[in-house]
Amino acid sequence: MRVYLDNCSYNRPYDDQTQIRIHLETEAKLHIQEMIKDNRLKLGHPMCSIMKILRIDFCISGKLFQSL
């Protein structure tokens, strides 16, 4: 099965883990990550995620960042 993880899920382990919802979302994300590493799931890379990452990279390294 191919799964998609939204870009914000990669930062979830760094959020406030004292909130039960955040903690459960973190545990779920880490479990899915382990399943991907064990080849029980495949990670999909939708074009929208790639575009978000490229846009972030442009904002950091491109003219937009230089103007801030």
Q: Tell me: the pLDDT tens digits for 14-51?
A: 999 999 999 999 999 999 999 999 999 998 876 666 66
Distance CA 57, CA 62 (A): 8
Choose between 25 and 5: higher pLDDT: 25
Q: Say how far residue 41 (Cα) sits from the centre of its chain.
A: 16
Residues 6 or more apart whose CB falls under 8 angstroms from that of 41 comprise 1, 2, 3, 32, 35
For residue 66, the model assigns a pLDDT of 45
The pTM score is 0.65
